[in-house]
A = this chain, B = another copy of it.
Amino acid sequence: MHFTSSNFETFDKSYRANFFNSLNGFKSICLCGTISENGIENVAIFSSIFHLGSNPPLFGMTFRPNQENHQTLNNILATKYYTLNHINESFYKNAHQTSAKYDHFTSEFDACGLTPAYKNNLKAPFVAESNVQIGLEFVQKIDLEINGTTLVIGSIKEVWVDDKNIHQDGFIDLEALGSLTSTGSDAYFKTQKIARLSYAKVGKEIEIIG
């Protein structure tokens, strides 16, 4: 089946969102923990997180346009700190519930049955239920004029993960840790490893290394 731009124009808003949100493949999903200057905690689910570099370690994430009241973005800009926390099957419904539109005075931690955890003086709450907890410092905001999306770049300051799930070469076994992946805006998946493959070289056969 072949779709072109002229087909896209006939998609209604919801069909269009589901279609293009699925199309880019399986995604990382994380809960982003923040706190406002007034001390109101927020936790929200994001699937737009990407690796931007390892030295320094940087992640990017995007925010939808026209979200003047976006509590996560406002809190990051105000306090300069945020956390990203992987999602497990044991609390994926709680995580999904954070996407409901709670008012500014409600902590989604309380409303959605998740537990804030403060560690090592980082000024943002981690999600206690998560097996992979990442503390970041805000670095840069880039407004993308093409569609009003905001790109936020953060520097990784802290990582909390059980080291029995980290291989000798630094690879983190996210399947063993139970991290989920998602497609679209509402589908959640476990994974099943096929293989880790050897570094690819010209003229050399690929080998399974793990």
Contacts and interface: CB of A to CB of B under 8 A. Distances in A.
Number of copies of this kind of chain in the complex: 2
A193 to B, nearest CB: 5
A132 B24 CA distance: 9
Contacts of A19: 54, 166, 170-172
A161 interface: yes
A101 to B, nearest CB: 6
B188 A197 contact: yes
Contact of A11 (B151, B160, B170): B170
Interface string A179-192: 11101101111111
A160 B1 contact: yes
A135 to B, nearest CB: 9
10 contacts: A19-B170, A22-B172, A24-B51, A25-B174, A53-B65, A151-B151, A171-B183, A172-B183, A175-B189, A180-B194
Interface of A: 1-5, 8, 11, 13-30, 48-60, 62, 65, 84, 86, 89, 92-93, 96-102, 111, 119-120, 132, 134, 139-140, 142, 144, 146-147, 149, 151, 153, 156-163, 166-167, 169-172, 174-175, 179-181, 183-184, 186-202, 204, 206, 209-210
